Amino acid sequence: MIHIVLAEDQAMVRGALSALLSLESDIEVLGSAADGEAAWRELQRLKPDVLVTDIEMPGLTGLELAQRIQRQELPIKVIIVTTFARPGFLRRALDAGVSGYLLKDAPAEHLAEALRTVHRGGRAIDPQLALEAWSEADPLNDRERQVLRLAGEGQSAGDIATRLNLSHGTVRNYLSEAIGKLGVSNRIEAYRLARQKGWL
Amino acid sequence: MIHIVLAEDQAMVRGALSALLSLESDIEVLGSAADGEAAWRELQRLKPDVLVTDIEMPGLTGLELAQRIQRQELPIKVIIVTTFARPGFLRRALDAGVSGYLLKDAPAEHLAEALRTVHRGGRAIDPQLALEAWSEADPLNDRERQVLRLAGEGQSAGDIATRLNLSHGTVRNYLSEAIGKLGVSNRIEAYRLARQKGWL
DNA sequence: CCCCCTGCATGACGTTTGTCATCTGCAATG
DNA sequence: CATTGCAGATGACAAACGTCATGCAGGGGG
């Protein structure tokens, strides 16, 4: 019997996944949580074999949850189930020691299979995503990332400069750098591309 | 017995919702589809009582699907289940004659209840969202919307002008109008705000 | 010690944006 | 027919944007 805990912020999806997994005779859903902190408490309390978690959640994200489990050396495997086919996310997830990474685009049956594979000690990583993850590295440095994030919210170079204690010229330099590295032609495209790749 | 068809692009969520509803003894899931066109074909073939659909789907959106059902006067009720708490979306959904509008944030049990209410001839609209929907009207006209959409993808005024067969000055005028109406200070903020409100 | 690399700043440049006031053509309305 | 209204165009202006060459301080590492 595989004991699991579910973390997913959308209540309806959480309930539906729970129903889905409860149909499997070898899986038991011990509990579920709507955010990272609550999930952490459930893990301590219920000691499941596997945590199935989304990435985007209020408070603590799924990735941070995985990191915490890894650092505390808890004997709990982690499977990420997310909408985002972003190579950067998978990379970070693997660094955090997760055993599985599925997309919500994948057929529902894959989840139970992945759960069994992981419980057996194996890994279940979305194959096509795994390829992309190792192909393209994030070309941005910290400053470029920060600046791009703010630019994507509609802030001007001047605003960003104030926020980061830089000169407005420097901000424009970083932005220009980022635009160049990403091979696009303005800050908006740069933001969209970086976001889509999971480089944020 | 309530017969339904499910339209939702994320396979895992689709499967999970199907599992959830199948647990109810008075509900039967006749079929499901991953995009609007497929859903339309399933509706013709299976003649369900109710369609449960997401909004964001490739091809035909859930809103367009509802419109089509309304225009053809099919005896099929529609329940929208979506992530987006955007007043504009609810407004358009109601115009398209849908009977239910739930958020994925709502508890899973609400779905089955809503299904029964709607099947009985009632309406099931997320209450807090219903309030917002009548509070604020979309101030944008068609041109402004089009222009803003493209601007949000990073296109320059010139690009947009070419795409829409307008002069580049005119495009800037519309953009300026939109920025003014929304009370923001540049195209990026305008795009973000309009998107968040569901005005796209 | 010197060299080079990195992080940030500066200034100049041409382009794009955002704002206005004004103008044109066309259709609807009286 | 004249009048009004609307969609789109124009041109001018200041501000912000994107690019580039250059400068400068502070560390390492040779």
The residue out of B132, B159, B176 marking a domain boundary is: B132
> Are both A43 and A91 inside the same structural domain?
yes
Query: Residue A137: which residues within 8 A CB-CB, separation 6 or more?
Result: none
Token output for B18:
């199907």
Say whether B2 sits in a helix, a strand or coil.
Answer: strand
Nearest CA in chain B to A83: B10
- Specify the pLDDT at position B105: 92
Write out the two tokens for A141.
Answer: 């440095």
Residues A128 and A146 in one domain: no
> How buried is B73 (Cβ within 10 angstroms: 0-12 exposed, 13-18 middle, 19+ buried)?
exposed
> Over chain A, what is the mean pLDDT?
93
Same domain, A110 and A14: yes
What's the structural domain count of chain B?
2
For residue A77, the one-letter residue type is K
Q: Would you state the pLDDT for residue B125? A: 93
Looking at the domain assignment, is residue B137 inside a domain? no
Q: Each residue of B108-124: pLDDT tens digit?
A: 999 999 999 999 999 99
For the record, the structure tokens of A154 come out as: 């509609």
Is the pLDDT at A161 greater than 80? The verdict is yes
Q: Which of residues 179-198 of B touch strand C (CB under 7 A)?
A: 179-180, 185-188
Q: Tell me phi and psi for residue B16, to 5 degrees.
A: -70, -40
Query: Looking at the structure, do residues A156 and A128 belong to the same domain, yes or no?
Result: no
Residues B10 and B67 in one domain: yes
Q: Which amino acid is at B34?
A: A
Task: Report the DSSP beta bridge partners of residue A27.
Answer: A2
When pLDDT is averaged across residues A52-56 and rounded to a whole number, the result is: 95
Pairwise CA distance, residues A10 & A54, whole Å: 10
Grade residue B86 by pLDDT with cuts at 50, 70 and 90: confident
Per-residue pLDDT, A108 = 93
Distance set, CA A7 to CA A52, A110, B81, B160 (Å): 6, 18, 20, 42
Q: Residues A147-159: what's their mean pLDDT?
A: 94
Residue B175 is inside which H or E element, if any?
A: helix B168-182
The domain spanning residue B176 has which CATH number?
A: 1.10.10.10
In a domain, A137, yes or no: no
Considering only CA atoms, give the Rg of chain B. Answer: 19
d(CA A89, CA A95): 10
**Could you check: is the Cβ of residue B172 within 7 Å of any atom of nucleic acid strand C?**
yes
- Nearest 5°: phi and psi at A25? -75, -20
Does B150 map to a domain? yes
Residues A115/A21, Cβ–Cβ less than 8 Å? yes
pLDDT of residue B128: 81
**The pLDDT of residue A133:** 74
Cα A57 to Cα A14, A36, A165, distances in angstroms: 12, 6, 30
Q: Is residue A134's pLDDT more than 80?
A: no
pLDDT at B134 over 80: no
In which order are the strands placed within the sheet that holds B50-53?
Answer: B27-33, B2-7, B50-53, B77-82, B100-103, B124-125
pLDDT in tens, B147-184: 999 999 999 999 999 999 999 999 999 999 999 999 99
| φ and ψ at residue B67, rounded to 5 degrees | -60, -45
Question: Strand D contacts (CB < 7 A) among B residues 92-151?
Answer: 141, 143
Is the domain of A96 the same as that of A28?
Answer: yes
Report if residue B165 sits inside a domain.
yes
ipTM entry: 0.80
Would you tell me how many other CB atoms lie within 10 Å of the CB of residue B170? 15
Record the pTM.
0.81
User: Residue A80: how many CA atoms within 13 Å on its side-chain side?
Assistant: 30
Listed in sequence order, the residues at least 6 apart from A174 whose beta carbon sits closer than 8 Å to its beta carbon are A143, A144, A147
Same domain for A43 and A107: yes
- Contact state of A156 with B186 under an 8 Å Cβ cutoff: yes
- The reported pLDDT for the residue numbered A129 is 84
- Residue B5's DSSP bridge partners are B31, B51
B178 touches strand C (CB under 7 A): no
pLDDT, position B84? 85
Q: What is the mean pLDDT of chain B?
A: 93
- CA pair distance B38, B22, nearest whole angstrom: 21
Minimal C-alpha gap between B104 and chain A (Å): 5
Tell me the percentage of chain B whose pLDDT exceeds 70.
Answer: 100
Predicted local distance difference test score (pLDDT) of residue B198: 84
Q: Which domain holds residue B147?
A: 142-197
What is the CB-side half-sphere exposure of residue A124 using CA atoms within 13 A? 24
pLDDT of A86:
86
The residue from B81, B99, B132 where one domain ends is B132
Q: In this structure, are A67 and A108 located in the same domain?
A: yes
User: A158 and A68 share a domain?
Assistant: no
Same domain, B27 and B92: yes
Q: How many H helices and E strands in chain B?
A: 10, 6
Chain B residues with CB under 8 Å of A103 CB are: 12
**A1 at interface of B, judged by CB pairs closer than 8 A:** no
A103 phi and psi angles, rounded to 5 deg: -95, 150
